Structure formats: C-alpha cells, structure tokens
C-alpha cells in the first residue's frame, strides 16, 4: 500500500502549517493554561477556514488521510483548540451511523467530544446504558468536555450497542478534575439524559477513526518536540563542540527519529485503510490500534528527550519543552495507553478475541 502523500495532500499540509505557525505560536498553549477563553479566537479562525468540515470526510474531496494531515499539523502546533475532540473523536465515532445531522453540526463548528472510558479501564469501551429512552452512566477523562456542546458516547441497550449523542447541559454533569495538559482540559461526566440521537454501532467500528485521529495528533507533537531538540543540539555547545556530537545525545535523537517515522507510517497506513471499503473491520481496528500505540510511544519519548537535551532550561515554565510533555502524556493515554493497546492486539492475534 502506497501511503505517500499526493500533491494535493502536501499542499493541504503546507497551508495548514503556515496558518497555524502564524495564528498559533507555541506560547498559545501556555496562555490557554491560565485563560479558559483563549481558544475561542483560534477556533473561530479554524471554523471559518472550513477545517471542521473534515468531520464528514468522504462527503467531498477529503477523506481519512486528509483528516490525519490536518490533525498532525494541529498536534505539531499543540494548538489549544477542540479540533481533535470534535472532528477526530466525536465525528469519528459517528462515521457511517447515518446521523448526518449531527455530523453537519460538528462540521459547522459545534464543539463535540467523545466519552468512552469507564472508571478503572485502560482501554475504551461502552460506559453508558440506554434504557427506557434514558441515557445513563459515567465516563472519565473526557477531553474538552467543558468546551463542548455535544457529547458522543457508546451505550448498551436492549437491541445491542448504540452510539448516542447528548447535549451538554441538562442531565449531563461535568465533574471537574485536574489535567496534565490544561490547554486541553479533561473532565469526568455523569449522564442521566434523553439522547438527541442514537444509532446501532459496532464498538470496533466506532473506535477505529478516533484511534487514527489521536495517533495523527501525537505524531505531530512528537515531530515538534524532536525538531526543537535537534535544533538545540546543533546550536548548544559544550567544550567547543555542539552537544549533538556527543553519543548520548545523538543516539537518543536518532532513536526518537526512528520511532517517529514508524508511528507516522503506521498512522497513514491506518488512515489509508479507512478509505478503502475492502478493509475488514477487525483489520482496520488493528492497524489503528497499532498506529495509536506507536504514536503514543513516539510522542512521550520525543518530549522526554527534548527536556533532557535542553537540560535545566527545558524544565522551566518559560521554555516550551514542558508543553510538549504535557500534551504527549495526556494524549498518549487517550483511548488506551500503548502497553494496553499492544496487549489487546496481541491477545486477539493469539486467538483470545471473542
């Protein structure tokens, strides 16, 4: 499978990168940690530019690969906006369910998020129930919940598993908590509400696009952290020599590069498979899970190495290194940490899947 970007996709990547470089310098994430409204100006720009229309890829000229391209650039800029949670997580879970009206709302700029983590579970699942027309349950670590208008979740019903959409407000209670990355706040949610819409869904199908979306975001963050570390290693000198010449640093950066390119290849292969109707659901989920696991490792390793390469400077509030660490750690745990995902893929490969 050829996963190289074509000329149109490269043009899209460059356009998104140029806009974010201008509209979203790294300091934006730092500002968003203390200013809960900082994200709104950039979000309006993103909506006006039509990026949220990727909530329904396949309806126009764009598909899953273009979604991955935009989310990678968002992760590269560690943009403090709910783009991933809206067009990657919430819209991803709704893909192919027939709930086009909800997807149109998200494409128009309505902020949405996905709640699929039950308390105590390292992997995403079905945290809610739908009985008697009421959606009930609790989910943890819901990204950008405080900014969202719509909540998408999975629920057990008498007719099987369904994807359900609820409006944040009456019957949807936000339980505030601490976030590793306050620029992308997490919160728990308790739901006892009548859903706006429901549709039957397979759990694997609902989670495949979100896994690829998070992987793309993490690849961007890993790339940004590695770039910052390499640039510092080339210019910082000790004993008259750039520190990048020392084995302990150059070997670590080389390992980071290998991990990053592995994650990027897996992510775009998974995105390409999503655009191929011949791909079976289990195969699509497996490639997405492997991409997310690899991307989580790459982002965490690149961010950690960036701090180490910068030394004491990288541990200060004023430097950007901690912004990449925060974002990488939080996103790496989203929809399952790397170890849990690898274990689940291995379990299925060994014949343990039901």
Mean pLDDT, the chain, whole residue set: 92
Dihedral pair phi/psi, residue 277, rounded to 5°: -65, -15
At the topology level, CATH places domain 112-200 in Butyryl-CoA Dehydrogenase, subunit A; domain 2 (2.40.110)
What is the pLDDT confidence band of residue 354, given thresholds at 50, 70 and 90? very low
pLDDT tens-digit map of 143-172:
999 999 999 999 999 999 999 999 998 899
pLDDT tens-digit map of 240-296:
787 777 888 899 999 999 999 999 999 999 999 998 888 888 899 999 999 999 999
Provide the b/e sequence for 272-302 (b: ≥16 CB within 10 Å).
bbbeeeebeeeebbbbbbbbbbbbbbbbbbb
**d(C-alpha 125, C-alpha 93), whole Å:** 12
Check for a shared fold between 7-108 and 203-352: no
Q: Are 50 and 87 in contact (CB under 8 A)?
A: no
Q: Name 131's bridge partners.
A: 134
Q: Indicate whether 2 pLDDT > 70.
A: no
Q: Are 125 and 141 in contact (CB under 8 A)?
A: no
At residue 250, the pLDDT reads 92
Superfamily of the domain at 7-108 = Acyl-CoA dehydrogenase/oxidase, N-terminal domain (1.10.540.10)
User: Rounded to a whole number, what is the distance in angstroms from the first to the last CA of the chain?
Assistant: 29
Q: At what angle do helices 281-310 and 247-274 cross, to 10 degrees?
A: 160
CATH number, span 203-352: 1.20.140.10
Domain boundaries, the chain: 7-108, 112-200, 203-352
Q: Indicate whether 353 pLDDT > 60.
A: no
Beta-carbon count within 10 A of 123 CB: 16
At residue 144, the pLDDT reads 95
């Amino acid at each position: 499978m050829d996963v190289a970007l074509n000329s149109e996709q490269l043009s899209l990547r460059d356009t998104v990168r140029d806009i974010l470089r201008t509209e979203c310098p790294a300091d934006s994430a730092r500002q968003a940690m203390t200013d809960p409204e900082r994200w709104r100006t950039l979000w309006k720009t993103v909506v006006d530019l039509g990026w949220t229309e990727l909530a329904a890829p396949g309806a126009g000229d764009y598909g899953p690969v273009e979604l991955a391209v935009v989310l990678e650039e968002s992760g590269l800029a560690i943009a403090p906006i709910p783009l991933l949670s809206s067009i990657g997580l919430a819209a991803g879970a709704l893909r192919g369910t027939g709930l086009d009206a909800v997807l149109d709302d998200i494409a128009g700029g309505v902020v949405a998020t996905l709640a699929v983590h039950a308390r105590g579970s390292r992997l995403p699942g079905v945290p809610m129930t739908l009985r008697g027309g009421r959606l009930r349950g609790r989910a943890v670590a819901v990204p950008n919940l405080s900014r969202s208008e719509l909540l998408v979740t999975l629920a057990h019903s008498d007719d099987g598993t369904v994807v359900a959409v609820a409006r944040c407000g009456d019957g949807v209670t936000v339980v505030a908590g601490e976030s590793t990355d306050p620029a992308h706040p997490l919160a728990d949610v308790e739901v006892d509400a009548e859903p706006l819409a429901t549709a039957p869904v397979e759990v694997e199908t609902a989670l495949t696009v979100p896994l690829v979306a998070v992987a793309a975001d993490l690849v961007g963050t890993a790339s940004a952290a590695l770039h910052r570390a390499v640039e510092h290693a080339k210019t910082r000198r000790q004993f008259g020599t750039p520190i990048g010449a020392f084995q302990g640093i150059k070997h670590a950066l080389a390992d980071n590069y290998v991990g990053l390119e592995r994650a990027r290849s897996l992510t775009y292969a998974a995105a390409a498979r999503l655009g191929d109707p011949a791909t079976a659901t289990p195969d699509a989920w497996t490639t997405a899970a492997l991409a997310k696991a690899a991307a989580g490792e790459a982002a965490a390793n690149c961010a950690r190495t960036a701090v180490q390469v910068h030394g004491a400077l990288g541990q200060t509030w004023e430097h950007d290194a901690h912004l990449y660490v925060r974002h990488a750690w939080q996103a790496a745990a989203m929809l399952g940490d790397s170890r849990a995902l690898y274990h689940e893929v291995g379990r299925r490969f060994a014949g343990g899947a039901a």
